[in-house]
Amino acid sequence: MKRLAVFASGTGSNFQALVGAAASNDLQAEIALLVCDNLNAPVLEKAKQVGVPVFAFNPKEFDSKAEFEVSILEQLQFYNIDLIVLAGYMRLVGTTLLEAYPNKIINIHPSLLPSFPGKDAIGQAIRSGVKITGVTIHYVDQGMDTGPIIAQKAIAIEKDDTLSDVEAKIHQVEHSFYPEIIGKLVNRRFESETSVN
């Protein structure tokens, strides 16, 4: 069974969804490690509750991204990680991890990329007046949400929707869509494809 590391910085709702999918065997993979760059993140308690090992660190204690990514890589190797899954990890992944895990780092983003990359994607979509937004799962490269797209799902923005309404719709989709697509990738042994049917 493939071993996954989830990278998260915040509440960990997608981490929780992945753990639940793995526990119910909807996702045939083991959530073997949580990597967190925020020592106060609620996701840390969620990992503790389900017994997932944690590597939490403060980036400010390192001289560079390369230095803390070397520490992350040591943990990934120790836990024999096959695939890295970003779930609200609020940092660009650097060369150290990209070279060690080519085409094996996946991210989920709350928009239909290439529209609205970066932070506050849901807010960007609402302010722009678009009627459709969505969720994108993509491979990670050195850019900001620029890697090859694996799968997307569209979500309608209704006339009266608030920011919290759209956030709720997106989270609901993410929590089923991400485990589903990662499951397909795991079963295909991480073939470098830009679409999953």
> Where do the domains of the chain lie, and which CATH numbers do they carry?
2-187 (3.40.50.170)
pLDDT in tens, 62-78: 999 999 999 999 999 99
Percentage of the residues of the chain whose pLDDT score is greater than 70: 95
β partners of residue 134: 154
Q: Are the beta carbons of 175 and 17 closer than 8 angstroms?
A: yes
pLDDT for 189: 53
- pLDDT of residue 193 exceeding 90: no
For helices 163-187 and 121-128, angle between their N-to-C axes, nearest 10 degrees: 130
194/88: higher pLDDT: 88
- pLDDT of residue 32 exceeding 60: yes
- Tokens of residue 19, six digits: 């753990």
Say how far apart CA 57 and CA 68 lie, in whole Å. 8
| pLDDT, the chain, mean | 92
User: So which residues are the catalytic ones?
Assistant: 109
- pLDDT of residue 133 exceeding 50: yes
- pLDDT of residue 46 exceeding 90: yes
| Inter-residue long-range contacts of 185-192, CB under 8 Å, 24+ positions, other chains counted | 185/83, 185/106, 185/150, 186/2, 186/27, 186/28, 186/29, 186/83, 187/28, 190/82, 190/83, 190/103, 190/104, 192/103, 192/139
